[in-house]
Amino acid sequence: MEQSNVREPLVDTSIDEKSNLMVITTEMPGISKGGIKVNASNNLIVLHCEKGDKKYHTEIPVKTELEDSSAKPLYTNGILELKIKLKGPVKSKGMDIKIE
């Protein structure tokens, strides 16, 4: 597939620790929900859709294991919201850095 006509949609990813969910919100205006393909694996979510000359593609890396079968997509007015249950709690591997 030629990539010159493909746009990378705006994506917002958040973790809801109380309900143990990853929530991915993506803007893909002008696309019908039947044209959206979502593929989820343990460490990558791939979103692809096209309608006429509008094409969107993005790959979202995931840093924690997901229950792929729990994915619940909702597409309304050009916004795709995808909720996927996490297999376990998110473990922070960072450290606080003091700003001087």
User: What CATH number did the domain enclosing 51 receive?
Assistant: 2.60.40.790
Structural domain of 78: 6-85
Q: Is residue 99 part of a domain?
A: no
Chain segment 12-42, per-residue pLDDT in tens: 999 888 888 999 999 988 888 888 999 987 7
pTM assigned to the model: 0.78
Residue 16 falls within a domain, yes or no?
yes
pLDDT tens-place string over residues 36-82: 999 987 778 999 998 888 889 999 988 888 887 888 999 999 999 99
23 in any annotated domain: yes
The answer, yes or no, to whether residue 87 has pLDDT greater than 90, is no
The C-alpha atoms of residue 24 and residue 28 are separated, in whole angstroms, by 13
The pLDDT assigned to 82 comes to 93
Number of domains the chain is built from: 1
* pLDDT at 60 (0 to 100): 92
